[in-house]
Amino acid sequence: MLDYFIPGSYSFMKPELLAERQQDFPLMLNIETAFSCNLRCFFCPPHNGTSRGEKMRAVGMMDWALYVKIIDECASEGPLLVLNMHKDGEPTLHPRFCDMLTYAKTKNAAEVIHFNTNAVFEDDELIDKILDSGVDDITFSIDAFDSARYRRTKGRDKLETVVRNVEKFYERRDQKNLQFPYMRVKMIGTEENREEFALFKKRWEPVADEVQCQQIHNFAGGLELNRTEDLARYACEFPFYSTAVNTDGVVALCHRDYNGKDIMGNVADTSIKEVYNSRKYQEYLHALRDNRTDNLPICRTCDNWKDGPDLGDALTEGLIAARERYL
């Protein structure tokens, strides 16, 4: 997975990779197995002061039959480069999450199957089931160095549990003599905790395969955040090679769309490929290319585009044309 993305990111793909893989099916897909969470992170749109007043989508879990339909199409059309088994909730809350991982791996739905987790659970058996599923890559979102910061950041006093679980993942992987999954620990940086990056790295580098410290973004306008970078706007990469499916089958323009602001279709009624290459999707790509982001609800106030590369006119046109041929 390291080879697919620009340095410091596991969302923005390398432009040269996109140039090689121009096609009419996503290279990366986020599947929201669960829209529910056992933490209350201050930066997460369902829980922060900026977006708390919005009427949020209904909490739910993806139906198994719908999941199978999605994975079977990915296996037939793909494989994807990256299948992210998470979006806006905590994926391990789905009662069949490990079955989902195993099914996707068995079907060869993606070159890399990955998920983010907060690692807040009490079931040691879950660790073994996840490791035995064949999953390729895991990110543990810890986001704090000490208990006080964790409680302020994540809304609950669970750092001790998280540390125990994460260390247990590495211990059990070694005991099982497994090469994979590759596992990283992650801390999102804010103005308040950035000075703790060095402490976080020192704590986890002896344990983890990788320590990722990442600058916070505003979650497509779901978090009030003032970033100072003065950049002329260019088209965000995400919609040109990826898409996301919510628990109910709704396809969102972007995995940052936490509340269904830009809906492209529903895979319960049609296919990913048909939605991904639809005229509505094309209209959005053209608007991004032409810098008409004020017309796109999820893009209008988003600042995450600043973290990705400028694809340039030629590659942007090529990616659009690859999908227009499907129409």
Could you tell me the two tokens for 74? 């990915």
User: Which helix (H) or strand (E) is 68 found in, with range?
Assistant: helix 64-77
Which residues of the chain, if any, have pLDDT below 70?
A: 1, 46-55, 225-230, 327
pLDDT in the model for residue 106? 98
CB atoms within 10 A of CB 33: 25
pLDDT in the model for residue 25? 96
Give the pLDDT confidence of 212-252 residue by residue, as tens digits: 998 888 777 777 766 656 678 999 999 999 999 999 999 99
pLDDT in the model for residue 122? 86
pLDDT in the model for residue 225? 66
pLDDT in the model for residue 224? 74
pLDDT in the model for residue 55? 62
200, amino acid identity: F
Please tell me the distance from the alpha carbon of residue 266 to that of residue 278, in angstroms, as a whole number: 12
| CA torsion through residues 200, 201, 204, 206, sign | negative
State CA 98 to chain mean position distance: 18
pLDDT in the model for residue 227? 64
Could you tell me the two tokens for 281? 């999707």
